[in-house]
Amino acid sequence: MEIKVWTEGSLEVKATDGTHNGVMDEPVDKGGKGAGLSPRQTVLAALGGCTAMTLKLYSARKGWPLEDVAVRVTLEEPERSAEDQTKRFTQHVELIGDLDDAQRERLQQIAGRCPVHRILEGPNAFEEVLVEPAEA
């Protein structure tokens, strides 16, 4: 999987996978133009969106009456000086449809198994490689 991301003279960042395009930016009070979600907000949106899609797909496969899903994602980050540096993601999942208690409980379990959730929980390794600018 690959995404190309670039700036054009400001904090506004454009992204593409070759087919779909997106924009990220910082709020005006942080030096951006407020033209899109911030990078942190984009991560939260990816987690919540992936969770909603995973629940819809799972329910459809099971033939369950899940009509819609709404997810509110929050992130609590510790102070830099805190001993425990664990970042806490919380997903508040609203399941809309005539589901019984067993179905709702199973969907709560499935919510923690979406692909983005698995990426974020790691383990992860990062590498930054500098390359020469592409010719115009």
What is the CATH number that goes with domain 38-121? Answer: 3.30.300.20
Place of tokens 């592409």: 134
What are the residues facing 16 on neighbouring strands? 4, 21
Place of tokens 């919510």: 111
Distances in Å between the alpha carbon of 48 and those of 6, 91, 96, 114?
24, 7, 15, 9
Q: Residue 120 pLDDT > 90, yes or no? A: yes
Mean pLDDT of 2-24: 93
Beta strands at 66-76 and 21-24: parallel, antiparallel or unpaired: unpaired
pTM reported for the whole predicted model: 0.89
Residues 119 and 126 sit within 8 Å (Cβ to Cβ)? no
What residue segments make up the domains of the chain, in order of their start?
Answer: 1-36, 38-121
Task: Read off the pLDDT of residues 34-92 as tens digits, 9 standing for 90 and up.
Answer: 999 999 999 999 999 999 999 999 999 999 999 999 999 999 999 999 999 999 999 99
Provide the 10 A C-beta neighbour count for residue 48. Answer: 23
Q: Residue 124 pLDDT > 70, yes or no? A: yes
Give residue 1's pLDDT: 87
As a whole number of angstroms, the distance between CA 78 and CA 32 comes to 24
